[in-house]
Amino acid sequence: MRAPREPFRIKMVEPVRLTTRAEREEALARAGWNLFQVAARDVELDLLTDSGTGAMSQTQWAALMLGDESYAGSQSFERFRETVKDVLGFPFVVPAHQGRGAEGVFFGAVIDPGEIVPSNAHFDTTRAHIEIRGGVALDLPVPEALDPALDAPFKGNMDVERLVELLDGEDGDTVSIVMLTITNNAGGGQPVSLANIREVAAVTRERGKKLVLDIARFAENAWFVREREAGYGKTPLGEIVHEMMADADAVLMSAKKDAIANIGGFVAVGEDEEFFHRLQARGVVSEGFPTYGGLAGRDLEVIAVGLREVLEESYLRYRIQQVAYVGHLLVEAGASVVEPVGGHAVYVDAGATVPHIPAEQFPGWALACSLYLAGGVRGAEIGSVMAGRDPLTGENRHPPLELVRLAVPRRVYTSRQLEQAGDAMAATLADAESLGGFEMVEEAPVLRHFTAKLAPLDKRLTPA
């Protein structure tokens, strides 16, 4: 597989500081062996997230200058609202400072304690917003989603049978919202098919519930629908997007992903104007006046341009191929990855890649640290460290898969730079047996992965 050609030229450059292995060893030890605590200037290839890390286009930079910073009724808001309506089909929109701001506005208005919110898989912040309001965030992925080696086209789908069981069972009355996250980040960046969206929508609507989509990566999902779903091979991407949105009552968006903005988000709703006014009222309290919602006018301009650019054929083809290319390089280097490669990230199956490290010794964490030491590459563990402890027993939780996510920022790295991820993996696996596990030294009670300090069990690695 060859690297895809970049459909752009580089007009402005940001230097990358090249580091030596000795410098990285020192930086990582100083950071308590936690990549979240490593300074960005000590990272050469930063694949921690694709969120807010994209490069803006010349059109977005130009739009920035059109920002109307009026407190109320700014022209930038008008342009933003028109774009949301045009691209996504929703007439009513509440801007928010980022995706979780939109989640706060939305769930603040709809959730009752004890209410169950089913989804194909909730992202962590969505789950947190449901749980802090006393709700229950329930994941209902299709069974294929749990087999990392299985190559299936729509592993992001929801298990409709289990949804029906829930809705028609004794807890059915507690449900008012059914969610789909497209693409499914927690499940490997896997797409959801249009057929699944329609089926879920029908089941939801028949029972008088609302369907809500988390559309952070809607364009990437649309691309996969066109590539993989029968009958859509020639459908324009914009039409596929409209079909994806057609049955939803509301959408939640983090503009830091598929609006290629560095900040921003929104909630958009269809016909229900009364519901929209309730959301607006919530938004004013936490995000800001309804025509800026925690953002500057210039941010709204950037999002409006990004929502259209992200659906450009040449961009999206390159985007999906570049992520697939990273997956290909990692497999060539000997890693096992979640198949097929997702839209925004490659999820390395650390449990299968370094099987000699038991879950108790955090294999994903060990692999992520090694990629950093070998090549200055920063990824994120999604495994036993991130899973935290059981609140009742205090024991470490071990999820079914120990993963390392390498998320690719949009339009930021050339394919040559991304090859460093493959090289770092090859260097790690050339001597895989010598890679040891980790022990937990210090941790916070919640979201411990951000601040925890760990130590390698191989004491040769700890500077004297």
Residues acting as catalytic residues: 71, 123-124, 214, 216, 257, 449
Of 138, 120, 116, 82, the C-alpha closest to 221 is 120
Q: Which is nearer to ligand F0G, 342 or 456 (CB)?
A: 342
> How many C-beta neighbours within 10 Å does residue 82 have?
13
Q: Is 280 in the site for ligand F0G (CB under 6 A)?
A: no
Q: Which is nearer to ligand F0G, 99 or 148 (CB)?
A: 99
Helix (H, G, I), strand (E, B) or coil at 357: coil
Q: What is the footprint of ligand F0G within residues 414-453 (CB under 6 A)?
A: none
Q: Is 262 in the site for ligand F0G (CB under 6 A)?
A: no
* Cβ-contact 228, 154 below 8 angstroms: yes
Q: Which residues of 404-420 are buried (b: 16+ CB within 10 A; e: fewer)?
A: bbbbbbbbbbebeebbb
* Cβ-contact 131, 197 below 8 angstroms: no
Q: Which stretch binds ligand F0G (CB under 6 A): 122-130, 145-153, 226-234, 393-401?
A: 122-130
Q: Which is nearer to ligand F0G, 106 or 276 (CB)?
A: 106
The amino acid present at 101, given as its one-letter code, is G
- Give the C-alpha separation, 145 to 338, whole Å: 10
- Give the C-alpha separation, 429 to 441, whole Å: 26
Q: Provide Rg for the chain, Cα atoms.
A: 22
* Cβ-contact 249, 242 below 8 angstroms: no
**Shortest Cβ 183–ligand F0G spacing (Å):** 8
**Shortest Cβ 401–ligand F0G spacing (Å):** 16
Q: Which stretch binds ligand F0G (CB under 6 A): 32-40, 120-128, 284-292, 298-306?
A: 120-128
For 358, half-sphere exposure in the C-beta direction (CA atoms, 13 angstrom radius) is: 4
Q: Which stretch binds ligand F0G (CB under 6 A): 92-100, 143-151, 394-402, 449-457?
A: 92-100
Q: Which is nearer to ligand F0G, 68 or 220 (CB)?
A: 220
- Give the C-alpha separation, 337 to 149, whole Å: 7
Binding ligand F0G (rule: CB under 6 A), the pick from 24, 81, 100, 410 is: 100
Q: What is the footprint of ligand F0G within residues 154-193 (CB under 6 A)?
A: 181, 185
The amino acid present at 133, given as its one-letter code, is R
For 128, half-sphere exposure in the C-beta direction (CA atoms, 13 angstrom radius) is: 11
**Shortest Cβ 3–ligand F0G spacing (Å):** 24
Q: Is 99 in the site for ligand F0G (CB under 6 A)?
A: yes
Q: Is 287 in the site for ligand F0G (CB under 6 A)?
A: no
Q: Is 306 in the site for ligand F0G (CB under 6 A)?
A: no
Q: Which is nearer to ligand F0G, 255 or 354 (CB)?
A: 255
Q: Which is nearer to ligand F0G, 99 or 437 (CB)?
A: 99
Q: Which stretch binds ligand F0G (CB under 6 A): 15-23, 94-102, 355-363, 438-446?
A: 94-102
The residue ranges of DSSP E strands in 235-359, in sequence order, are: 250-254, 265-269, 345-349
Q: Which is nearer to ligand F0G, 99 or 297 (CB)?
A: 99
- Give the C-alpha separation, 263 to 386, whole Å: 24
Stretch 204-223: interaction string toward ligand F0G, x if CB under 6 A:
----------x-x-------
**Shortest Cβ 185–ligand F0G spacing (Å):** 4
| Burial grade of 173 (CB within 10 A; 0-12, 13-18, 19 or more) | exposed
The amino acid present at 125, given as its one-letter code, is T
**Element housing 451 (H / E):** none
Binding ligand F0G (rule: CB under 6 A), the pick from 46, 47, 49, 408 is: 49
Residue nearest to ligand F0G (CB): 99
In which residue are the tokens 């040559």 written?
Answer: 416
Binding ligand F0G (rule: CB under 6 A), the pick from 98, 119, 193, 291 is: 98
- Give the C-alpha separation, 404 to 406, whole Å: 6
Q: Which is nearer to ligand F0G, 28 or 48 (CB)?
A: 48
- Give the C-alpha separation, 174 to 423, whole Å: 50
Q: Which residues bind ligand F0G (CB under 6 A)?
A: 49, 51, 98-100, 123, 125-126, 181, 185, 214, 216, 254, 256, 265
